[in-house]
Amino acid sequence: MYADIKAIGERIERESEFLVTLVSEIDKVIVGQSYMVERLLIGLLADGHVLIEGVPGLAKTLAVRTLSRAIDTKFQRIQFTPDLLPADLIGTMVYTAKTGEFTTKKGPIFSNLILADEINRAPAKVQSALLEAMQERQVTIGSRTFPLDDPFLVLATQNPIEQEGTYPLPEAQVDRFMLKLRVGYPSRDEELEIMERMSKGKEPVASPVVSPETILKARDLVREIYVDDKIKQYILDIVFATRGPSEHGPDLGDLIAYGASPRASIYLIAAARAHAFLERRAYVTPEDIKAIAMDVLRHRVIITYEAEAEELTSEDIVQRILDNIEVP
């Protein structure tokens, strides 16, 4: 049996070579932010949408645009504004006077990589239209249903400050994002390099180095990565600890209002496989689970008012759970 895993490992060694090229191409444009780039790749490999949260100016949009350029795939950036309509996103029926017929005009969502910039600035009906498309991977315009392209990945950004006039995503809709990233400021050295690069005048641009077919092939391989029963039990321990901490994990009292959904378990295992792939491993270890658990769970654990009164965040709660669940 180990031979099978070994064989997968050898295939991973061969077929993950594109990652080196891809990352180095992204590094030409993005300084630092390795955490964000790695998570974007996990989303790409695990076929899960990513929500990126960070204050303005942290290269969120630039990172997504660079990734899409490096992959040589169709890319659409949609700036979410309060006056955006669902039809602006998914498309609509247009009357052609010449023929006297209605024809379908597809919206920008018909692309491979979608950057939903400042997703919380658009009203709920637009968010719903996008999130429904993310879940169903198809769009209905008029009476016809159109499947979306493959790969189809939505990378959404939102700003945690300036909440006036925004439409915060409801928990049920945030749940559809596999990962929610919190992007922080670059280090001092990284910021120095950013300054030097940007002061040269010409902004660096990434070139297409990976085809969508390579990504789809890698996805198939990621799904073959071995996950032992002990790892699955570990995932269940973590997820159940968010639902009933006193019964399944550390006693967190009444700090959690709602725990993670079964979607969390599904995404945990998928993202852990992708993380193992990035580590060129053919099997998942607890390291992979712990590495991605925070990004998978932080938007799925809803804290209580008591937790807020204690100035605790969902990240604090998830960290406590991860620190107190026995690793296999």
Query: Which residues would be at the binding site for other proteins (CB under 8 A)?
Result: 1-2, 5, 226, 228, 230-231, 282-287, 290, 323-328
- Residue type, position 84, single letter: L
Q: Could you give the CA distance from residue 40 to residue 48 in angstroms, rounded to a whole number?
A: 9
Q: Could you give the CA distance from residue 247 to residue 17 in angstroms, rounded to a whole number?
A: 44
Q: Which residues pair with 55 in a beta bridge?
A: none
- Identity of the residue, 263 or 290, whose beta carbon is nearer to other proteins in the bound complex: 290
- Identity of the residue, 169 or 252, whose beta carbon is nearer to other proteins in the bound complex: 252
Cis peptide before 147 (omega within 30 of 0): no
Quote the distance between the C-alpha of residue 72 and its chain's center: 19
How large is the greatest C-alpha to C-alpha distance in the chain, in angstroms?
Answer: 70
- Identity of the residue, 162 or 228, whose beta carbon is nearer to other proteins in the bound complex: 228
- Identity of the residue, 102 or 305, whose beta carbon is nearer to other proteins in the bound complex: 305
The 8-class DSSP code of residue 261 comes to -
Instruction: Report, in Å, the least distance between residue 38 CB and other proteins.
Output: 16
158 contacts 120 by C-beta, under 8 angstroms? yes
Instruction: Report, in Å, the least distance between residue 327 CB and other proteins.
Output: 6
Instruction: Report, in Å, the least distance between residue 230 CB and other proteins.
Output: 6
SS3 content of the chain, % helix, strand, coil (to 5): 50, 15, 35
H-helix or E-strand spanning residue 1: none
Q: Could you give the CA distance from residue 274 to residue 38 in angstroms, rounded to a whole number?
A: 10
Of the chain, the end-to-end C-alpha distance in Å amounts to 20
Instruction: Report, in Å, the least distance between residue 138 CB and other proteins.
Output: 37
Nearest 5°: the CA angle 69, 74, 75 is 65
Distance of CA 235 to CAs 228, 266, 272, Å? 11, 9, 10
Instruction: Report, in Å, the least distance between residue 179 CB and other proteins.
Output: 20
Instruction: Report, in Å, the least distance between residue 284 CB and other proteins.
Output: 7
Q: Could you give the CA distance from residue 130 to residue 128 in angstroms, rounded to a whole number?
A: 5
Instruction: Report, in Å, the least distance between residue 104 CB and other proteins.
Output: 49
Instruction: Report, in Å, the least distance between residue 312 CB and other proteins.
Output: 13
- Identity of the residue, 197 or 290, whose beta carbon is nearer to other proteins in the bound complex: 290
- Identity of the residue, 161 or 309, whose beta carbon is nearer to other proteins in the bound complex: 309
- Identity of the residue, 89 or 325, whose beta carbon is nearer to other proteins in the bound complex: 325
